[in-house]
Structure 1
């Protein structure tokens, strides 16, 4: 009989999991061709504005396969409801039996995405981080900053959000641990920071090539559908290292997709994250390099975190 794991139990279990290491293992397996990950299925809604992604797959010779349903409805916050919703379903790869229903309301998607951001910083951020920039101060904007503390001691932060009230709430909630400054626009964030994470559902660029300092690392998280874009495509002409979590997905979504579409990025310049992790020559080698990691979200991340939570639950 399938185990149903509720959100409160998931919150408790995930605290004991090294999610960054789990993501690293998953990306390596993916780039080494040891996974089966079909293209993303998605539903896009206009009234109200929202989206649902269905990601699924398995790692060869593993015990499980996973189907993840994750939604984002951005008007939810005005009703006191989280914008992130969804669940993960874990099955036996040997028999097809349902092992677990993880009622996480999108929490595990948020956690595995933030962990991937920390992983990106681990390999591509400059050694001397003078300030961290966060574009978008929702759930993901909070988690990205918190997970970045696994790879840096920097506590100086510049934030920007279209909604000034939400940015003020962000500052108030995190000011005990960080020195937080609210920027008037994304360009002000870029002028102060050499590590920037973008976490918005923007459909027009927020960060411009001319504003980016030499040596800046950017982790782009928000553009997970074909219509979204947070980075100006010309920024890719300035970048020294361009990393995709999935090269195949970058052909249909994300910042790399938009730069390809605009004719400003040759496919040969893009390296997959799991490949770069295994080869030091493909990682940052100088403090003046501009690096971009485009995270569109890969099913192998869901497999790794769902499996870890399930095993944590049954082994309590």
Structure 2
């Protein structure tokens, strides 16, 4: 019996299909499946490179009673912009859960990983952001920092943005991207200045040393940390985790080997009483922020259920 050739989608076909999708409820469904023990997600496969600096992650798994299992390869090579390439690259493969037949190849060049990461950040803001006196600080100026502002309107009306980057040139370029937007973007001269002015902070860098420290965090602040997705990376001083009233992981199991929570575990700065999984907060929002005085931290290392949900949505909604 002849097997039908898999659907092969280019980056442009993927991005055109994305325009028609409401991703937040889809990714939320994936997190709920994970926290409800309805998803099979093995440990992350990982390759780390030194010269030039880069990394490649293999994330894979399936959600029970869904049509596909998905294997995603995503890389970040941080010198790429110097040679005219974006740092993120990758693809997704979708196979039938019933037969193992390859059904689709999404040649997204890492774009879907970037998007699903940004959506996960928006979900944390939806459930954990303080409701009053909101000013949002973004640490970093790369692809993920840009996507934070592009998707912010889906969960917040906040227009007051502070941004910090390592060089004046990168911060100015970031601000120029949004020159025609409704955002009022202030360039923060330092991270302490950003933290002083903002009660929502999003960190988006591949740093391996802390950028944000406990002494800089005021009451009522929410932090979403999305840059630290390996065992080596670290954007937050571990005392921030110790100081937080609520700590959220996209996957508690995965946080045992990577991310800010992993570093906090190593330094005995994590209390089990404060740690919760994002899918459980989506199911029961009372597990999240209860007032605007609490300090909350969301540590996102990126989970295969996000890839499964976004890949499935692209396949199901692609119009030939």
TM-score by length of 2: 0.97
What is the correspondence of 1:67-86 to structure 2 with a 5 Å cutoff? Answer: 67-86=71-90
Deviation per CA, 1:54-98: give whole Å up to 9, x if none: 000000111111000000000001111000000000111111111
Alignment match, 1:202: 207
Contact 2:231/2:259 (8 A) holds in 1: yes
Q: SS in structure 2 opposite 1:149?
A: helix
**Structural RMSD (CA):** 1.0
Structure 1: distance between partners of 2:185 and 2:134:
13
Alignment match, 1:271: 276
- 1:285 equivalenced with 2:296 (yes/no): no
Structure 2: distance between partners of 1:175 and 1:238:
36
Deviation per CA, 1:176-226: give whole Å up to 9, x if none: 221111112211111111111100000111111111121111100000000
Contact 1:129/1:152 (8 A) holds in 2: no
Question: Once the 2 structures are TM-superposed, how far is the Cα of residue 23 of structure 1 from its aligned partner?
Answer: 0.8
- 1:306 equivalenced with 2:311 (yes/no): yes
Alignment match, 2:95: 91
Structure 2: distance between partners of 1:153 and 1:14:
22
Alignment match, 2:148: 144
Structure 1: distance between partners of 2:107 and 2:32:
27
Q: SS in structure 1 opposite 2:297?
A: strand
Match of 2:114 among 110, 114, 138: 110
- 1:123 equivalenced with 2:124 (yes/no): no
Contact 1:28/1:274 (8 A) holds in 2: yes
TM-score by length of 1: 0.98
Contact 2:242/2:271 (8 A) holds in 1: no
Q: Which runs of 5+ in 1 are unaligned?
A: none
Question: Once the 2 structures are TM-superposed, how far is the Cα of residue 3 of structure 1 from its aligned partner?
Answer: 1.0
Q: Which runs of 5+ in 2 are unaligned?
A: none
Q: SS in structure 1 opposite 2:154?
A: coil
Runs (4+) off by over 6 Å: none
Alignment match, 2:266: 261
Contact 1:135/1:200 (8 A) holds in 2: yes
266-275 or 192-201: bigger deviation: 266-275
Structure 1: distance between partners of 2:42 and 2:86:
28
Structure 1: distance between partners of 2:266 and 2:90:
31
Deviation per CA, 1:23-61: give whole Å up to 9, x if none: 100000000000100000000000100000000000011
Question: Once the 2 structures are TM-superposed, how far is the Cα of residue 280 of structure 1 from its aligned partner?
Answer: 2.8
Q: SS in structure 1 opposite 2:141?
A: coil
Q: SS in structure 2 opposite 1:52?
A: strand
What is the correspondence of 1:28-39 to structure 2 with a 5 Å cutoff? Answer: 28-39=32-43
Structure 2: distance between partners of 1:82 and 1:12:
19
Structure 2: distance between partners of 1:243 and 1:293:
5
What is the correspondence of 1:180-259 to structure 2 with a 5 Å cutoff? Answer: 180-259=185-264
Alignment match, 1:170: 174
Alignment match, 1:179: 184
Contact 1:129/1:195 (8 A) holds in 2: no
114-123 or 210-219: bigger deviation: 210-219
Q: SS in structure 2 opposite 1:62?
A: coil
Instruction: Tell me the number of residue pairs that the alignment of Structure 1 and Structure 2 aligns.
Output: 315
